[in-house]
Amino acid sequence: MTETKSEADSPAPASDVAAGLAEVRAGIRQAAQDSARAPGSIHLVAVSKTVPAAGILPALEAGQRLFGENYVQETRAKWPALRERYPDVELHLIGPLQSNKAREAVELFDVIHSLDRLSLAAALAKEIARAGRAPKLLIQVNTGDEPQKGGISPAQVDVLIAECRDTHGLAINGLMCIPPADDPPSAHFALLARIAGRHNLPILSMGMSADYPAAIQLGATHVRVGTAIFGARPRKG
C-alpha cells in the first residue's frame, strides 16, 4: 500500500517507539557483554531530529534522557517545553554547527559533537565565556576524508586538539565520527579509538542504528540511534 505524505510525516505510534527503544537497549547490553564491557559504560543518544515533540514523548516516558538533534532552530522550537516536564534531559548537538549559531548552541545543548575547525572553536570559546555555561565538546573526525562531509581530517586532528586547548582554553572531552556509508565501519571506529587514546579523551561518539554493536566492540561510549527507535525519517519533497 502506498504511504501518503501525511502518514509518512506523522510520528511512529507510542508503542512502536517504546518497543524500539527496549530493543536497542537490549542490543547495547548484549554488545557490551560480548565485549566484556559494563553496559552502564555505554550511553544511548536517541536521535530525535525531525521527530515532533509528540513523537519524542513515548521515549521520555520510557526513561530515555539523552537525545540528539541536528539543528539549533528545530531544537529551540520543540525542546524547551519538553525540558520543563523532563528537566534532567541531556541534549546533544550531532549535526554541523555554523559559527554564527554558537551562542544558541551553547545555550541549548549539553554536549556538542561537531567541533571541526578553529573558527568554530573561537566562536564557542567566546560564547562559553560570555554565558558561563560550558557544554562538553567533541571533535568530529572525518575518518574517510570525504569532501562532502563535516569533520577534521585524521591527519589534522592532533593540531586542532592542541589549538583548541592551548589557544582557546577549551576542554575537549572526546571525538565523534560518521564512517563512509559504503565502507565497513570497524576500521573507522578503530581509527577514532586510537586517536582518542593518544589524547586521553574519555568520550567516543560512534555507531548508529546499523552498526552500533561494532562501535561498542571498539570502545564507543556513546552510540547515536534514531531509525531503530523512531522509525524511518519522513521523505523530503
Tens-digit pLDDT profile for residues 45-96: 999 999 999 999 999 999 999 999 999 999 999 999 999 999 999 999 999 9
User: Which ranges in the chain belong to alpha helices (H)?
Assistant: 5-9, 14-34, 53-61, 72-85, 102-108, 118-131, 157-166, 186-198, 212-217, 227-230
With vertex at residue 188, the alpha carbon angle to CA 44 and CA 197, rounded to the nearest 5 degrees, is: 75
What pLDDT is recorded for position 1? 36
Find the farthest-apart pair of alpha carbons in the chain and give their distance in angstroms, rounded.
58
On whether the CB atoms of residues 39 and 28 are closer than 8 A, the answer is yes
All domains in the chain, ordered by first residue: 5-229 (3.20.20.10)
Whose grid coordinates read 547495547? 28
Confidence of residue 235 (pLDDT cuts 50, 70, 90): low
* CA dist list (Å): 149 to 96, 146, 215: 9, 6, 20
Confidence of residue 6 (pLDDT cuts 50, 70, 90): very low
| Global pTM exceeds 0.85 | yes
On whether the CB atoms of residues 169 and 125 are closer than 8 A, the answer is yes
On whether the CB atoms of residues 105 and 72 are closer than 8 A, the answer is yes
Radius of gyration for the chain, computed over Cα atoms and rounded to the nearest angstrom: 18
Tens-digit pLDDT profile for residues 101-156: 999 999 999 999 999 999 999 999 999 999 999 999 999 999 999 999 999 999 99
48 SS3 class: coil
